[in-house]
Amino acid sequence: MKTRLTCPCGEVVKGADEDELVEKAQAHLADQHPGREYEREMILFMAT
């Protein structure tokens, strides 16, 4: 299970599980990188 993602901007996003990680990553994108959206599969591909 992947629960950590380092955004190219340097911020580390962590979740208790993959669902939470995707939710938090999408929230980070909306807040810090408006206009950039990634599907669940892409987020999990980049996660560890």
For 5, phi then psi, to 5°, come to: -140, 130
pLDDT tens-digit profile of 1-48?
999 999 999 999 999 999 999 999 999 999 999 999 999 999 999 999
The total domain count for the chain is 1
pLDDT of residue 12: 98
Whether this prediction's pTM lies above 0.85 is answered by yes
Question: Would you list the DSSP string of 15-46?
Answer: -SSHHHHHHHHHHHHHHHSTT----HHHHHHH
pLDDT of residue 38: 96
* Alpha-carbon span 45 to 48, nearest angstrom: 8
Per the structure, the complete domain to which residue 27 belongs is given by: 4-46
